[in-house]
Amino acid sequence: MSVNGINGNGFDISKLLGGKATAPAAGSAEATDFLSSLKLQIANVESQTVGLLVSSAQASGKVSGAANFADILGAGKTAGTSSLDALLGSAAGVGGTNGVSAAGRNLALFDPESAYRMMTDINRFAVNFKAEASEMSDMKSYVATLQQEAVKLGSTAESTSNDEIRGRLQAFANAYNGWMQRFGSELQDGGMLAGTQAAKVSQYELEQSIANPFNGAMNGVHGMADLGLSIDPVTKLATVDNARLDGMLAGNKTAAIGALHEFTTNFAKSAELLNSAGNFITNRLDNLTRAISYIDSNMTSLQAEFGLGDPATPTGQVAKALANYNAAHGIG
C-alpha cells in the first residue's frame, strides 16, 4: 500500500478516537487502543519507504542481492551493504535521514506530498483536540451544576409556599438555559461539538428528562409540562408558564410535588450518569487526553518523518477554546 493509498482522502484522524460519532465503551479496544490507527498508518509509510529504498539500492548495485535486512539497516557489516542513511541519501538525493526540505517535505519518502498532507491534518487535529477537550471539560462542569440545581429543586415540599416553588422552578430553568446558551450553537450542525456524540447525547438526555410525560403519571400528572416547565421547540430553551403552575398547585398540590420529586430525581440521575467514570463525557475526555499526549510527545519525530505540514490556524470558537486550554495547562 502506498502512502497515497493510505492518505488519498486525507488523514482520517477520527479513527484515533473510534470516530467522533461514536463513544467506545470503557475498557473496549477503541477506548484503550485508539492510537492504533495512527501507528498503523505510520508503520505502513515506513514499510513502503524502506521497501522502495531497498529496491532502488539493489537495482543500482549499492546493495548485494544476498544482503539481509539487518545489513541494510546498518546493523550488519557484510561486504557490499550500505546503512539506511546511505540508502536514503541515494534514493532521495539528500544526505541522512533528517532530509526535510526547505519546503517542509521529507524527500526520502515514497510520496512526500501525501505524507505532508497527513502531517497537515495531524497539526490541525492536535489543535482541535485541545479545543474540544477544553469545551468538554466546561460541559462536564455545567452538567454537574445542573445536577445540583435539580437536587435543590427536589427539596421542595408541600409546605413550601407557591411563591417559593415558582422561584425555584424558574431558577432551574435559568440554569438549564445557561447551559444551552453556552453550548447550543456548538451542538448545531457545523458547530464545534456537532459531531461529538458525548455532547449530543448530553443535550438529548437532559432535554428528554424535562419533556418526559410520565413524571407524576401515577397521580394523573403528565410530566413537567403540567407544572408549566417545557422546552421551546425552536430555541431549545426552557420556559416556565406560571399560570399553569399555579393552576396545578391550586388543584392538586400533592400530585404536583410528587411529579416534581420524580422529575428532579430522574434528571439528577441522568446528569450524574453522563459525568460518571467510563461514561460519555469522561470517556471522551480520557480519549482526547491520550490523543493530545501522544501527538505532543511525538510531534518532533512525526514532522521529521513525514514533513512539517501546514501549521494549524484556528479561528472563532476553536481559537477561543484553544486559548482556554493553554491557559488552564500553563502553556504560553
Residue 14 grid cell: 477520527
* pLDDT tens-digit readout, 141-198: 999 999 999 999 999 999 999 999 999 999 999 999 999 999 999 998 889 999 899 9
Going by C-alpha positions, the residue among 151, 141, 124, 128 that lies closest to residue 282 is 141
Q: What are phi and psi of 245, to 5 degrees?
A: -60, -45
- pLDDT of residue 68 exceeding 60, the answer is no
The answer for residues whose C-beta is within 8 angstroms of residue 21's C-beta and 6 or more apart is: 195, 197
Among 17-21, 108-112, 274-278, 298-302, the range scoring the smallest mean pLDDT is 17-21
* pLDDT tens-digit readout, 102-155: 888 988 888 889 889 989 999 999 999 999 999 999 999 999 999 999 999 999
Q: Which pTM does this prediction carry?
A: 0.74
Going by C-alpha positions, the residue among 327, 318, 326, 329 that lies closest to residue 131 is 318
Average pLDDT rounded to a whole number, residues 92-96: 39
Residue 101 pLDDT class (50, 70, 90 cuts): confident
Going by C-alpha positions, the residue among 203, 207, 225, 202 that lies closest to residue 215 is 225
- pLDDT of residue 7 exceeding 60, the answer is no
Separation CA 44–CA 28 (nearest Å) = 24
